[in-house]
Structure 1
Amino acid sequence: MKQLFQLVFMLALLLVRAIIPAHAQNPQPIPKMDLHVHQAPGLTIEQAVLLSKEKGVQLGIVEHPGICPYCPIENDSLLTAYISKLRQYPVYAGLQPVTPGWRQYFSQEALDQLDYVIMDALEIPQADGSIWRIWQDDTQVSDIDDFMEMYVTYNIQVIDNEGINVLANAAFLPKCIANDYRKAWTKERMQKVIDAAVKHHVAFEINSFYRVPKKEFIQLAKAAGAKFSFGTDSRNNFAGTMDYALEMVKECHLEAKDIFVPKDNKNTLSSE
């Protein structure tokens, strides 16, 4: 009887292994990365590398390109120098444009040296030529529906036109309406942005500083086939923090295949 039981058990185990794919039996670990880190007086590249090793999180450094008051990379020469410097360290080299049309200042040859590009929709051009920086704490919104119509439209424009890999700070809301998240981000609005991202193969950043997007957005995006990245928009030792990101990974059942990974530059922590 004991031998019969063992035989039945082994046959059942073989059947389970035949039915369940190998990747499901041994799922790949979620890559721990923060692809939204800025160099700053409070975080030099050397400090960022030490922080990366301490936390066991791969960092990606980004800088603002184009023409704006805080865009230090304005041409191919400056872009090449920026990338060359980062190649001396185990980090990804990325950009975070903040203005539409930023690519006109660079050759494709220079841009091809990058590992990835992220951009958010938090600096919205206005009809009078001004920029509405909705990330600022003093931002005021008088009508949520009017604001969201403009905001969703601009999110889609960024995804459609700016040649990016990741929509950073995805589904962010200004501080003044952050408590009205579900009213602002209706399923219809979420779906419009998600459809655009899936069409253009743009991933959504799960940001552990702003703690966005919320669970509902991530679940809807996953169901549509979208990918995700992790970021903090940090300029200090918060870089590499993944508490919210990993919380969403668990709650939304994200797998390694759902995560965007920059192209391999053979100069990251895993390559050391």
Structure 2
Amino acid sequence: MNEADKLFDWARFYGVLSLILVALGSGAAVGYRALLPPRSESASVVVARAGTTLPSNQFQLLAKAVFRSAAVFEPAIEELGADKAPQEFLSEDVDLLPIPATTAVIILGRSHAPESAEDVAEAMATSFVRAFEDRTGTDLETFGSPTPRLRPGGLSLSVAIFLGATGGFWLGLALATLHYWAKRPVLSLRRALSVSGASGAAIVEGRSWRWLGVLRPDPLRGYSSVDSVEGRSTVLSAHAATAESDLAGSPPREAGNSAPSSDGPVTLIWAR
């Protein structure tokens, strides 16, 4: 058996296990996205009107102070109907980004839905403009309209599924490697004869579910050890729809359809 054949047998033996784990990883990613969807954010740009006398550094300091005041977030929370405490709303749903060396700021609104993020940004920008003008006498205006986008760091559904499937694949590969290292399964009849030292073997074919590979149930599970050939034949026929006797190895112990003597040892090779 060459290396390519060994690789094919190994992949077939552990293929179903890997596919199941890939499917589970993809399903887990979809479930994660359903339970914790990524947050969108929307930005509103607020600028001072032409003719303002406030220096840019002073404008930025005043903007930070006014933004976190009750005169800004309370009207916004009331307008949005948000059922959140002020500190939670300020830390999770909104943010103020200064634009250095200018008399302009960016107000961010966040939510799981893009439309809601746009509403949050617009409500906070309107409330901020009103409160800033009342306290400083500086006229402000909102530049453009809020534009929602996926918050940086959020995973799209396709990326989440890809990561989940990749994780499942590598987990399957790791489990397959550990199982192969611990159990040393025999993946070919020639190797089985070499390991067992048998000069021949009877191949029993039937409902084998070979495509399951490592997940295939043991056909001898539930049966106790037997000493007679008749008992072993009963075990074989109970799990095989059609039993065909074939011989492998040289020289064979028996020929044709004759059974080995009842007082001799029987080597049973189960090929997946």
- What's the TM-score bracket when you normalise by the shorter of the two chains? under 0.3
Q: TM-score, normalised by structure 2?
A: 0.22
Whose relative contact order is higher, 1 or 2, with alpha carbons under 8 Å and at least 6 apart? 2
Between Structure 1 and Structure 2, the one with more helix by share is 2
Q: TM-score, normalised by structure 1?
A: 0.22
